[in-house]
Amino acid sequence: MLYTQTLEKLKALRLTGMVQALEEQRQQKDIVSLDFEERLALLVERQWLWKENRGFALRLKNAQLKISSATLEDLDYRASRGLKRAQIEQLRASQWIQDHRNCLITGPTGTGKTWVACALAHQACRDGYRTGYYYAPKLFRALETAQADGSLMSLLKRLARASLLVVDDLGIASVSGKLYRQFLEILDDRHGHAATLITSQFPVSQWHEVIGDPTVADAILDRLVHQAYRLEFTGKSLRDPKNPADRT
């Protein structure tokens, strides 16, 4: 009776991990060899792990990554695309996010920019950072729609709350000057407060031409480029069936 009541109280407190661990301990014959503090420590550890894993799963779900299975552990450094292990190791600990720095990944189509961006975002979720992913054309369409229906401020606040914002394939579609000014507003809200990761087929030296308006382009690059990590990919598309390299 006492055990049943204890379980019910743990469930009422939403200590699911502790409930699972307690039920497992009941099935282990050698558990009696541990003293009370050791068994309690095991219960607390399980609850902590359960909470961490649940938080990570929720952050990953909310991030809506294009490739949610991408991880840094699966990166293939053999492909001749200019990917350097030392650069990835600098980014692995997510300290750059804590320091509110940016990351710019550029290179030809098919060289794995999106995959690496999603792997870095996956790591950010694992490290406890709220993350958001947007394919650039969809982000600009969302801004345009929000402007039309009056929800722009709500969208801007949501974007500002993300510790890491990933904007994938910047410059892939034609965008009006008005939308780039709104994009500048997003970057301005985040500057010095959060990290932004941009991928683009165009090298940074061509972003002025992509954006069009010199003044807006200057302001956007000013908020993105300084102290940013730069990954510049080269080589053939990894989607080429004649290329033996893995897509990662």
What's the whole-number mean pLDDT along residues 217-231? 92
Yes or no: say if 43 and 22 are a contact pair by the CB < 8 Å rule.
yes
Tens digits of residue pLDDT in 73-83: 988 877 667 78
Task: Dig out the tokens for 177 from the structure.
Answer: 């000057």
Rounded CA-CA distance 141/183 in Å is 12
pLDDT at 246 over 50: no
pLDDT at 245 over 50: no
Terminal Cα-to-Cα distance of the chain (whole angstroms)? 55
Higher pLDDT, 136 or 85: 136
Task: Dig out the tokens for 242 from the structure.
Answer: 């004649």
Look at residue 240 in the predicted model and tell me its pLDDT. Answer: 55
Look at residue 239 in the predicted model and tell me its pLDDT. Answer: 65
Tens digits of residue pLDDT in 55-74: 889 999 999 999 999 999 98
> Looking at the domain covering 65-232, what would its CATH class be?
alpha beta
**Proportion of the chain in helix, strand, coil states, percent, rounded to 5:** 55, 10, 35
Higher pLDDT, 248 or 127: 127
pLDDT at 101 over 90: yes
For the chain, the domains span: 2-62, 65-232
Higher pLDDT, 8 or 242: 8
Q: What does the mean pLDDT of the chain come to?
A: 87
What's the whole-number mean pLDDT along residues 105-110? 90
Look at residue 72 in the predicted model and tell me its pLDDT. Answer: 92
Other residues' Cβ atoms within 10 Å of the Cβ of residue 176: 12
pLDDT at 1 over 80: no
pTM for the model stands at: 0.80
Look at residue 241 in the predicted model and tell me its pLDDT. Answer: 53
pLDDT at 244 over 60: no
Tens digits of residue pLDDT in 17-47: 877 887 888 788 788 788 788 878 888 888 8
What's the whole-number mean pLDDT along residues 198-209? 93
SS (H, E, C) 53-101: HHHHHHHHHHHCCCCCCCCHHHCCCCCCCCCCHHHHHHHHCCHHHHCCC
